Amino acid sequence: MENKELQYQKAGLARRIGAVVMDQFLLFFLTFILLAVSNSLMVQTPLYHSLVAKRETVQAASNLYAEDGTQIVSYLSSDTELSDRQRKDELSGRLKTFYANRDFASAEDEAAYTTRRLSYVYEGTNMFVVSEGTVTEAVDNPSVYWRFYKKDATDFAYKLVLTSPGYLDATRGVFLYFVVEALICFTFSFSIFYVLLPLTAFRRGRRTLGKAVLKVGYLGADALNPSWKRYACYCLFLYGVIYLGSVVSFLIPIIVSVSMVFLSKRRQNLVEYVTNIYLVDNRSQEIYLDYGDYVVHTDERENATLENPDLKTKP
């Protein structure tokens, strides 16, 4: 077989960056659109309602939430018809019940609440005293007591609710629900822009939409179009290591991959280096699917030159 020499230029840095920016914008824009649509549908499913109901049950058991699910502190503060005396009586009773509930507060937490009350001093006056073994309010100043109970609930009680096993378990279920939803939307978008288009509409050079617009594409080490198997490895590495790996490792794979583009002589990122493919400028040189495709295109050009003297190929 006669050896043929194909020459390609490495994709310029500006074109590479432009293609990446365009592809990432399209990828995450479609993901966001899909997530918005799917979220409006997913919140109507029985599974989602059961997860939310589980969390609401835990909140109700804490006695620190109103019937509509808002924090009791916010609920009492927003009710302008209540006096400070009514607010502090309601909140103090709920706090007493909360700290006695061992599903949320330990004996140490209850003792700490007692200590905070007995050590509370306002304008030189101890605001709580012990009477017949019970901590009671020492003076008639509902506004001060309301501020105290409100601060204690915000700084201590609600933190105990949020870190309780039941609440964490319920919240974890809701969180995982949305993580799976986001992962499905992202995977679908990735499949469109990085799998479907490069294997069909832009298969020469395995180009994404951004690469197609900016006239850059991928070559294998044989100067021909990467095989679908090699490109499949590229997609798996990009999806699993670069995208998903960056989520769980503080963007380290992305940082390494971008750094390699600027530091390596071949201007390959991490995915290209691992899969042994090269991003080239194909504005002046077609990327051939295989050797047979190269021969066909070469014959067509030679025939065109012979039939029309005005058409000439480069010597």
Q: Please report the pLDDT score of residue 289 as a whole number.
A: 86
pLDDT tens digits for 274-295? Answer: 999 999 998 888 888 888 887 7
Q: Which of 32-41, 106-115, 216-225, 281-290 has the lowest mean pLDDT?
A: 281-290
The length of the chain, given as a count of residues: 315
Burial grade of 198 (CB within 10 A; 0-12, 13-18, 19 or more)? buried
Mean pLDDT (whole number) for 1-8: 62
Asked if 83 and 89 count as a contact pair (C-beta separation under 8 A), the reply is no
Q: Please report the pLDDT score of residue 308 as a whole number.
A: 46
Q: Please report the pLDDT score of residue 313 as a whole number.
A: 38
Distance between CA 275 and CA 226 in Å, rounded?
10
For the cut 90, the answer to whether the pLDDT of residue 229 exceeds it is yes
pLDDT tens digits for 158-203? Answer: 999 999 999 999 899 989 999 999 999 999 999 999 999 999 999 9
Share of residues in the chain with pLDDT > 90 (%): 77
Q: Both ends of the chain: CA-CA distance in Å?
A: 21
DSSP label at 71?
Answer: B
Mean pLDDT (whole number) for 140-163: 96
Q: Please report the pLDDT score of residue 303 as a whole number.
A: 55
Q: Please report the pLDDT score of residue 265 as a whole number.
A: 86
pLDDT tens digits for 25-77? Answer: 999 999 999 999 999 998 899 988 998 899 999 999 999 999 989 999 999 99
Exposure of 215 in the CB half-sphere (CA atoms within 13 A): 9
Q: Please report the pLDDT score of residue 305 as a whole number.
A: 45
For the cut 70, the answer to whether the pLDDT of residue 314 exceeds it is no
Q: Please report the pLDDT score of residue 72 as a whole number.
A: 96
Distance between CA 222 and CA 226 in Å, rounded?
9
Q: Please report the pLDDT score of residue 294 as a whole number.
A: 79
* 244 confidence band (pLDDT: 50, 70, 90): very high
Burial grade of 58 (CB within 10 A; 0-12, 13-18, 19 or more)? buried
